[in-house]
Structure 1
Amino acid sequence: MPPPSQLTIPASPNTVQVSIIDTTTTIDFPADRFLAPKIDGLERVKGNAFSFLVENPRTGGKVVFDLGIRKDWENLAKPLHERLKTVFQIEVEKDVAEILRENGVGLEEVEAIIWSHWHFDHIGDPSTFPGSTSLVVGPGMPAAKLPPYPEDPAGHLLESDFRGRQLIEITPDKFTTRIGGFGAHDYFGDGSFYLLDVPGHAVGHMCGLARTTPDTFILMAADTCHHGGEFRPSSYQPLPDEIVPNPYNDQTTPPCPCHIFEKIHPSPEKYRTEPFYRIRVNEGGTSTAPNVEVAMQSIRHLQEFDAADNVLVVCAHDATLVGIVDVFPAKANHWKSAGWMERGRWRFLRDWDVGYADKKP
């Protein structure tokens, strides 16, 4: 079934060069912190953290979308660090600034850091960039999360994140275009790169939509989802009878039969058309998402992008794409001809032990 509405991405001949950055982050966390219900004993999720270098060849402008986790994450705001270390297992080898420098990108060339949102695993360490690099944030973030720590003893952000640089808020009135179910802001003003207002997960949560050819796009989906099973399968992108490549051995033959997942789906009668997971809501109604209903609506809109054959969806912590996508310093604009979508779409299924006899040893 096709999406119920067109994505209505405005036409443009202008593209950006996109690189997917492996931020050298490994983050291990309890699955039930974000996901419900528990399925087949998947107790913990081991994720990564993608960020993106976006280059506009017409203006020469370069921006970085997200920074992963800072290498010295023990220097996060003290109250935040104390909470994090009781929940997450974190390893970080390098800051994004270091990765860029090692690969010939001068930090003075980066005109802006764009935070998808203010959570610790996306903000990195802006202080590693020069003051000429502005910091771009989503609607409502400054009012909700400033002043920073230590001025606010309970703050999550650091004064050093903002010191000496321009802070730019993409306010609600700047999302003047509608793409799919989201408001969109034309960042460069030429149709090559949009910021999308994707609410629910956090105040000011944004995604990036980059035009990689005149007719293909990469959606930088940030934390709209934390696992492929939160938005796949869907009525727009059903689980096929036979899954190729086989998610368990990455081979095109033999294909993996889809029926083996029926028994672990929370709604077996809908296992081909409804996601395996929903956002976890704790007893008492608390959740990692401040507005679960709105966050679930954003996921439904994300499914429309995922069903489009010209949009590659890359969630920030989707480790199943590691080994499939080319990472910085390589470019990602050739993603469609390289078959990354087909190779990666169902790879999350390997997270569950369903007793499948043809799994790779």
Structure 2
Amino acid sequence: MTDTPATRSTSMRCCEPATNTDKDYIIKLVQAPSPEEGWLVECWYGRHGKNLNQSLKTKKPVPYEKAEQVYNKEFVARLSKGYVVEGESNTATVAPPKESCGVFGQLLNPISEAEVEFYMTDPGWIAEEKHDGERNSFTKKGDTVVVGNRRGQVIPGNAQVVTELARHGRDFVIEGEVLPVTNQFIAFDLLELDGRNMRGEPYAIRAAELRQLIALDDVAAKAVGHRISYARAAVHEMAKWALLTEVRAKGGEGLVFKRANALHVAGKNHKDQVKLKLWADCSCVVSGINEKSSVRLEMYDDKGQPVHVGNVTISQNRACPEVGDIVDVQYLYAYRQGSLFQPVFRGVRTDVAREECTTSTLKYYAGPKAGENPAPGA
């Protein structure tokens, strides 16, 4: 037992190439926000080099002796599962949960296919390809990069993307999406540049300066191996339709439309940025692990009761989520009192709360018309 209470942090890794296993695990013993409240044990886990998921091993602050026991027990448990220590220190290496990064994004409001023509024909709107990744902000000052999620909370972030951004010579605050498989960061907004607050400037100006900041188009970025690029955009009507056709043909996520002269407004209380999603997606809670490379999913109804919404397969090249994780699932539609149709696992979400996983967000199958089969493909 430690004589003097002290913050501790241990980084561990389990790497088994034969089974395609490469996982990180960080255990932290930290003081609660108010020192008199006690101590907490936090764990961060996930695929090596990717965004880590957070788990609290102490649900509330406890005395230091109790927290240290929990910390040591978790450490021994990881050793028994094949993890090795990569680093140990007396100071935390990962930001504590719910610490604000100070960056709050301008969230997107959905539109339907029937509304698309207005945004295509109006020259005041810019179309961009929407990617299916985890929305992050990156605040770079000097050699330090702070990563935030869409709720404005500090997270560990993708190590490879952070390393790439840290090499940049300028200071900035940018937003974008980290793609889970390729570890690529697609930037879509520039909020600050070298101390200049750009939130009060038109989006068209922010987008133009973002492209100059990145200084690489998609083709060049892939050619030199960089992980940082920016969202492809179209301004003129013909180019917008062409972009939509291309995204649809490759089974892409959809398009985002942004008013060119709009200022940055945090949250959804605005009409300046909208999204057209070609696939539906939802956030679900993993309720169990199946034997054949799949997990069981549940959501919550309007009374807060859990509802089973089917299973989703986890491909062999992806780390299997754990029970209790919140995962992003893409699907074609949902059956009422049934399951998701054609679900696809997209990744673990660290920026979505359990109470947000509600069945009210689902896109339901409307049912067959007269003379049609009872369900597509039947």
Normalised by the length of structure 1, the TM-score is 0.28
Larger Rg: 2
The structure carrying a bigger strand percent of its residues is 2
Q: Tell me which of the two structures has the higher relative contact order, counting C-alpha pairs closer than 8 angstroms and 6 or more residues apart.
A: 1
